[in-house]
Amino acid sequence: MSTNPGYIDKYELQELLGQDGMAEVWKAFDTQAHRYVAIKFLHANLQADPGFVARFQRETTIIGALHHPNIVQYYDFTILQPSETGNVTAYMVMNYIDGGTLADSIRNTSHQGKFLPAVDIVRLFTTIGMAVDYANQHGIVHGQLKPTNILLDKRNTARNVMGEPVVTDFGILRLLGTAGGATGNTSGWRSGVPLYTSPEQIMGSPGDERSDVYSLGIMLYELCVGTPPFLGNNPATVMMQHINTVPTLPALINPGLPAALTTIIMRCIAKDPWARFPSVSSLVEALTQAVGVEGHEAANTPITVNVSQPDYSVKAMDMPTMLTPLPSQKPVRRRRTLWIVLAALLLLILALVGSGLGAYFAFFSKSSPAITTTPAIVGHAYFVSSGLLGPDTGSSQGITDRLQVKLENISPAPQGKAYYAWLLNAKGSDWSPVPLGSLTVTNGVAVLSYAGDAAHSDLLASSSRFFVTEEDAGSPPVNPSLSPGALLYYAEFSQIPDPNNPKHYSLYDHLRHLLANDPKVEAAGLTGGLDIWLYRNTQNVLGWANSARDAQQSGDVGFIHRQLIRIIDYLDGTYYDQHDIPGQGLLVNPTVAKIGLLTFDPANQDPPGYLVHIATHLRDVAALPQASAEQKLLANQIYQAINEVNVWFQTIRSDALQLYSMPPSQLFGSSGRALLNAVATLANNAFVGQIDAQGRVIEGIAQIHYAIQQLATFDVRACTASNPCPSLV
C-alpha cells in the first residue's frame, strides 16, 4: 500500500468533496481501473471500539449487496491497520457522481423562491423513494436521509431535470454503532442533522421505514416551501421542535402548492410514526397519484409562492344557512402580503398547538393536557386513520383503523404478569373484545401502537370502550380476564342518550356519525363518517378551482365551464346543481355528489350539507353533559372554524355561478381573471386555512379534519376502591 500523502492504496486523492462529524469524502482516481471514484473516510475512534472491525465487515457486506440504479454502487471496503502506532483508517470506495447534491440544488432553487413544477418534484421524489424502498425491502433502513445524502447526476437528466438522484450513506449509522438515530450525532448540525431526523430517533428509538418516510417528508417540505419546517439557533432547539411543534401547513407559505402534495407532506411528517405512510412504497404510490388529483394543468404549473395577489372581497352570504355567523364573519377585504406569509411561520404554529390540531401530534407530547377533568385520569387512547382508504365511492377501510395509547405514572407489571389493552364493543351488544396487545412500561410511561387488522377495519364503528387488564405474561390472552382485580384501567364514550336532543344521540353516536358511519351518508350510498367526505370533497374543489384559474391563459372556455360545474356539483349536491345550472349533466361521481357541502333549505334539504351537518353534531357535543371539558372546548373551536369555511364556500359558489354566466370576452378579461383568482384563493383558504390581515388564524378543512379525529379520545382512568370501574359485561 502506498504511503504517499496524495495516495491511499491504488487511489490518487484529488479533491475534498465534503465532510461532517462522521466522515469526509474525496474525489479520487483509481489508477488500476482508470476511473474516477469517491472515497468516504470514516471519522471514528476506531482503536477505542474493539467491535468496529467485525461490525464494519458485517455491515459493509450488507450494504455492498444493494444493487439499484439510484443507490450509490460500492467498489471496495478497506480497513488499514498500522503496524505499531497511528490511527486505524476505514474507508469505502464508490462510484463518483458528478453534479452536486440535492442540498446544493435546493439552495439554488427553492431557497431563492424558484420552485419546480409539481410534476418534476413528484418525479424526483418517487425516484428517490423507490431507491429507499428497495433498501427497506432488503432490511436496510437509512436512518439519516437528508439532502446532502442525495447526489444528482448532471450527466443524466432524461428523467429528472435536476439530475438523476443517487442515494448514499445507507447503513452508516449502524456501521458506526449509532443505530439509535440522532443520539450522539448533533455535531452534524451543519450537514443537516437534526433538521431531517424523526422524533422517535431523537428520543432514542431505532429508526425504521417510517423514520425514512419522515425524513423524505421534511425534504419534500423544504423543496416545496423553500425552508425546512423546523429551524433554530442550536440542535437542541430543533430537536425539541421535531418532538413537540406542529409545523406550518406548507400551502399557507406557498399558496401555489397542490392540495394533494400538502396532504402527503403533512402525513409524512406526523409526530406519531403510525400516522405516517406505513412504508416508503405507499408514499411513492401516493406521490404518483398526486399530480393526477390536481388535473393536467396543475401538473405542469410551477409551484410559485404568490406574495402579492389581487385584492378580493369575502362577500356576505346570499343564501340562508343554519350556521350562526360569528362577528368575525363580517365582510372584510384581505390582501396576501409578504408579512402574512412570513407571519405564518410563527403564528400558525402557536395557534395550531394551542387549538390541539390533530390527535396525531399528541402521542409524543411531553406536556399534560391544558384542562384535566379529574386527577384520576392517567392517560389517553385515541384513534388514528391510516389513510389507506377505499375507492372514491366510499369505504370504511383506513378510517379510524388504528389506536394509540399513552398512560403515565404506571407501575411495572408484577413478576410473571403483563398489561394488555383491549377495545370493547358498545354496551347492549354481544361480548366481542378486540385484543390490542401488551403495553410496554418504561420509566412509568406505558405506550402501545395498535396497527389494526389486515382489512384496515374501522375500529370506532364498533368500539365504545377501552380497558387494560393484568394477565399472565406467558402467552397473549385471547379474551380478557374477568377475575377480581384484573381490570386496572378503563375508559368509554358515553352511550347515555341526550334528553335535550330530539334524536337522543349519545356522545358515542355523535362520534360515530362524524368519524365512522353516518346513517344519512350511508343512505346516499356512501360509507364512512361525515368528516372524511368533507375532507375529500373540499380537496377536489380546490383542485378544480386551481385548474380553472390556470386555464384562463389558454382560452379554453369549455374546460373552465366544466371545472366550474364540478365545483357547483360538490357545493350544491345533485338537486340544487340542476336548479342553478339547468340542462347540464353531472360531471362528477353521482353518488359522491348526492350530498353537497352547503345547505340552502334547512327545512327540506335532507340530508343537509356536510358543513351544517357536522356543525350540528359539534353544537350538540358542546352541550352534552357526558362530554369532557376538552371535548366541549374542541367542539366549540371546530364549530367556529366550520362557520368561517362556510362563508368561503358560499362566496366560491356565488363567484362560480357569475363566472359561468360570463361571455368569453369578459371571462378572459381582467374581471374574469380577478374572479378566477379569487375562487382559487378562497378554495385554498377553505382547505388549508388563512392568516388574515389582522393576524388572525382562520383554520381550514385540513385542520378541522384532524381536530374532529381528536374528539374521539378516550380519557383513561385507574380502577380504584374509591373510583371502581364498571362491569364489562
Question: Does residue 222 contact residue 228 with C-beta atoms inside 8 Å?
Answer: yes
- At residue 81, the pLDDT reads 65
Q: What is the DSSP letter of 620?
A: H
Query: Closest Cα to residue 655, out of 629, 639, 674, 636?
Result: 674
pLDDT for residue 410: 92
User: Would you say 685 and 705 are in contact if contact means Cβ atoms under 8 Å apart?
Assistant: no
SS in 3 state form for 523-554?
HCCCCCCHHHHHHHHHHHHHHHHHHHHHHHHC
Is the distance from CB of 609 to CB of 596 less than 8 angstroms? yes
Q: Enter the DSSP assignment of 479.
A: S
Q: What share of the chain is helix, strand, coil (3-state, %, to 5)?
A: 40, 15, 45
SS (H, E, C) 702-714: HHHHHHHHHHCEE
Q: Which residue pairs from 48-51 have beta carbons closer than 8 angstroms and sit at least 24 positions apart in sequence?
A: 49/177, 51/177
Cell of 662: 360570463
> Which residues does 16 contact at the CB level (< 8 Å), separation at least 6?
24, 25, 26, 27
Q: What is the pLDDT of residue 678?
A: 93
Grid coordinates given for 710: 381528536
Report pLDDT for 695. 61
Per-residue DSSP letter, 584: P
**Ramachandran category for residue 356: left, alpha or beta (phi over 0 → left; psi -120 to 50 → alpha):** left
Question: What are the E-state strand segments in 408-527?
Answer: 417-425, 434-438, 440-442, 445-450, 463-472, 487-492
The distance in angstroms from the start CA to the end CA of the chain is 77
How far is Cα 547 from Cα 263, in angstroms, rounded to an integer?
Answer: 18
Low-confidence ranges of the chain (pLDDT < 70): 1-5, 20-21, 43-51, 81-88, 173-193, 246, 252, 274-275, 291-375, 386-398, 575-579, 582-583, 691-697
Report how far residue 187's alpha carbon sits from residue 468's, in angstroms, rounded to the nearest whole number.
42
pLDDT of residue 23: 76
pLDDT, residue 49, reads: 64
Q: Which CATH architecture has domain 97-305+337-355?
A: Orthogonal Bundle (1.10)
Cα torsion 169, 175, 176, 181: sign: positive
**Contacting residues for 701 by C-beta, under 8 A, at least 6 apart:** 534, 535, 538, 539, 645, 686, 687
* 430-459 pLDDT per residue, tens: 888 999 999 989 889 898 888 888 888 889
Q: Do 209 and 233 form a contact (C-beta atoms < 8 A)?
A: no
H helix intervals, 315-457: 338-355
Fill in the DSSP letter of residue 728. -
> Rounded to an integer, what distance in angstroms lies between the CA atom of residue 664 and that of residue 597?
29
Task: Give the HSE-up count for residue 721: Cα atoms under 13 Å, Cβ half-sphere.
Answer: 0
Instruction: Report how far Cα 423 is from the mean position of its chain's Cα atoms.
Output: 26
Q: Which residues pair with 24 in a beta bridge?
A: 19, 41
The CA distance from 423 to 714, in Å, is: 11
Question: Considering only the top CATH level, what class is 1-96?
Answer: alpha beta
Find all residues with CB under 8 Å of 34, minimum gap 6, and list them.
none
Domain 377-393+403-493: top CATH class:
mainly beta
Residue 606, judged by CB atoms within 10 A of its CB (0-12, 13-18, 19+), counts as exposed
Q: What is the CA radius of gyration of the chain?
A: 28
Q: Which set of grid coordinates corresponds to residue 48?
A: 477505542
Report the helix count and the strand count for the chain, using DSSP H and E: 22, 21
pTM above 0.85, yes or no: no
Computed from CA positions of residues 66, 70, 73, 79, in that sequence, does the dihedral angle turn out positive or negative? negative
What does the alpha-carbon distance between residue 143 and residue 572 come to, in Å, rounded to a whole number?
Answer: 48
- pLDDT confidence of residue 2: 41
Q: How far is CA 402 from CA 287, 306, 438, 462, 537, in A?
A: 23, 38, 15, 13, 23
* Element spanning 220, H or E: helix 209-225
368: exposed, middle or buried (C-beta count within 10 Å: 0-12, 13-18, 19+)?
exposed
Q: How far is it, in rounded angstroms, from Cα 627 to Cα 711? A: 10
Where do the domains of the chain lie?
1-96, 97-305+337-355, 377-393+403-493, 505-711
Q: Grid coordinates standing for 464?
A: 365504545
